[in-house]
Structure 1
Amino acid sequence: MTLPGRAFLQVHPTRRCNLRCLHCYSSSGPDVAETTELPVLQRAVADAAALGYDVLGVSGGEPTLYRPLDELLRTARSHGMRTTVTSNGMLLTGRRLSELAGLVDVLAISLDGVPDSHVRMRRDPRSFTTMERRLPLVRASGIPFGFIFTLTQFNIHELAWVADFAVAAGATLLQIHPLEAEGNAVEALPDAVPDVTEMLFSVLEAARLRTSTDLVIQLDLVERGNLLSQADRFLLDDGDVRGTGPVERLSSWLSPLVVETDGTVVPFAYGFDRRFALGNLHEAPLSAQARSWDPAPFRSLCRSVHADLAGEHGPAFVNWYDEVTRASRAASLVG
C-alpha cells in the first residue's frame, strides 16, 4: 500500500509465509526459508534514505515471520522514513502488534473478496476467520490500517462487500490492485488477470465507493489520458542521472526501488528481469549501485512500453508497473 507522492524503497526480507496463496507474486510459502539478514537491509535503508527515499515498504512472504521486523522498521524511522507493512493478517497477535506499534504508519491487510473467495485464494480454510479475529487487536494497537483487494477477472462484484467490511472493521484505506501474472499466478490463475473491460468496471466502482464511503480508495491503474498528458511521469526525464549528476536524483524518478529476498535490487516490482537490476546487496552497497548503474536500458524500456500503451489503439486503463515488468522479461528474451 503506497503513500502518494513519495519515493518508496520496497523490501522483501523473507519469502517464508504461513500460506501458499494462488496469486503470490514471490512464490512464498511455509517451506521457503529464504531470508535476508538484518544488517544487509539496515545498510540498504540507510543508503536509500541518503538517496532521497522517504518510505520503507515491507512485504514478503509474510513480514511478521521476519523476527527482526521491528528493528528494521526502527532503522527506517531513525533515518526519517515512513513505513508500511503488508500482511495476510493471520499472525497479528497482541504481542506482535505491540512490537510494531509506533513503528508502522500504514498496516495493509490482504482481503481477497467475500470469505469463500478469500479462502480459495489463500488455500487455507482458516485464513478469513483468523484474520477477522485479529482485527480488534489491530484496532486496539492504534496502528493505522487498511485492506488490499486483489482484482481478478471474476470478483469485481465483491468489491462493494469488501468496502463495507473495511468500514465496519475501522479501516481508513482500501487499495484495489489488479492481479499480475507473476509467481504462483502464472500456473494457478492463468485466466484470472483482469481484462480492459474488468478494469473499466473497477474504475467505475472505485469512483462510486469514493462518494459512498469515507474510505480512501487507491486504484492501481493509470488512465490512458494521463499517459498522454503526464508523459514525464512514465518516460523519465532526460537529465543526467548518472555520472556527473547527483546520485540523490535517483529517488526523484525511480520509485518503487525494490529489494528482493536474495538481495537483488530492481526497479518497479518484484520479479523485474535481472538484466535491468542495479545489483545485489551482497556484492555492493546500494549507494555504490546507484552510482554505477546505467539506467539507459531501463529508461528505453519504459519509453517503448509507453509508446505502445499511448498509441491510437492503446487500452483505456493500464497497470503501468505490471506492463513494464512483463516487458522487461520479453526484452530479455529478445536480447
Structure 2
Amino acid sequence: MWLLAELTYRCPLQCAYCSNPLDFARYRDELDTEGWRSVLRQARALGAVQLGFSGGEPLLRRDLEELVAEARTLGFYTNLITSGIGLDHDRLGALRAAGLDHVQISFQADDSIASDAIAGSARFGHKRAMAEAIRAHGYPMVFNVVLHRHNLDRIDAILQLAWDLGADHVELANTQYHGWALRNRAAL
C-alpha cells in the first residue's frame, strides 16, 4: 500500500547514520522523470495508495514538483521526506500547487551545536525555519530524528522542540546499520 520512492542518493548533509550506499557517488544514473512516472503508474496499478518521496534529499530533484503532480493525478496520498535543505516558502507553495499532501522533516538533535555536528554542516537554523514554514503552509508535519549515542540523552529536549514546532507526529527512528551507518557503527 506504500511506495517509498528514493529519488536520489545525493544529499547536502553528511550524517554518520545515513543508510545511503558507501559508494553512492558512483550512482549518477538516476531514473529520469519519465522513468519515475512509469514506476508511479506501475505501483498504483499494483494497489499502492500512499507515496513517500525520499532520498538522499529529494529536493535536489528539479522534477520533484512534476512527480508530485503525476502522483496527484494517479490518486496517491503524497509525503515529502526531507532534511529541509533546499526548501523555502516558494518551493513549499509550488509543491502545494502540485498536490503534495504531507511533509516529514528530519532533525539531528534539539539545538544547533549538536544538530550541526551530527549533520556535518550548519543547517539547524534553516531546518527550524522550514519546520515553521511547513506549518505556515498548512501541511501536516512529521518531526523525525534518528537515534544514536550522540542524541539519546536528549530525547526530552528533542520532544520539546517537536512540540514547540507544532509537529503533528514524532518519529524517533532507530539507526539502521547499513551503508554509511554500518561503516560508522563504532561512532554511533
TM-score scaled by structure 1? 0.52
Aligned partner of 2:36 in structure 1 is 41
CA contact (8 A) 1:28 1:60 kept: no
The structure showing larger relative contact order (alpha-carbon pairs under 8 Å, at least 6 residues apart) is: 2
Aligned partner of 1:10 in structure 2 is 4
In the TM superposition, residue 180 of structure 1 has moved relative to its aligned partner by 0.9
Alignment of 1:245-324 (within 5 A): none
How far apart, in 2, do the equivalents of 1:85 and 1:182 lie?
Answer: 23
Asked if residue 188 in structure 1 is aligned to residue 177 in structure 2, the reply is: no
Letter in 2 for 1:20: Q
Letter in 2 for 1:13: L
Gaps of 5+ in 2: none
- Higher mean C-alpha deviation, range 52-61 or range 109-118: 109-118
How far apart, in 2, do the equivalents of 1:29 and 1:147 lie?
Answer: 28
Taking only the aligned residue pairs, the percentage that are identical comes to: 26
Alignment of 1:67-106 (within 5 A): 67-101=62-96, 103-106=99-102
Between Structure 1 and Structure 2, whose CA radius of gyration is higher? Answer: 1
> Which of 129, 132, 141 in structure 1 is aligned with 2:125?
129
Gaps of 5+ in 1: 1-6, 193-335
Aligned partner of 2:105 in structure 1 is 109
- Higher mean C-alpha deviation, range 174-183 or range 97-106: 97-106
Aligned partner of 2:55 in structure 1 is 60
| Secondary structure of the corresponding residue to residue 80 of structure 2 | strand
How far apart, in 2, do the equivalents of 1:50 and 1:191 lie?
Answer: 43
Aligned partner of 1:269 in structure 2 is none
How far apart, in 1, do the equivalents of 2:24 and 2:178 lie?
Answer: 19
In the TM superposition, residue 122 of structure 1 has moved relative to its aligned partner by 0.6
CA contact (8 A) 1:20 1:29 kept: no
Q: CA RMSD in A?
A: 2.1
CA contact (8 A) 1:64 1:96 kept: no
CA contact (8 A) 1:17 1:30 kept: no
Asked if residue 25 in structure 1 is aligned to residue 22 in structure 2, the reply is: no
How far apart, in 1, do the equivalents of 2:52 and 2:117 lie?
Answer: 27
How far apart, in 1, do the equivalents of 2:7 and 2:151 lie?
Answer: 30
| Secondary structure of the corresponding residue to residue 101 of structure 1 | helix
CA contact (8 A) 1:11 1:58 kept: yes
CA contact (8 A) 1:24 1:184 kept: yes
Structure 1 21/134 Cα, relative in aligned 2: closer, same or farther at 3 Å?
same
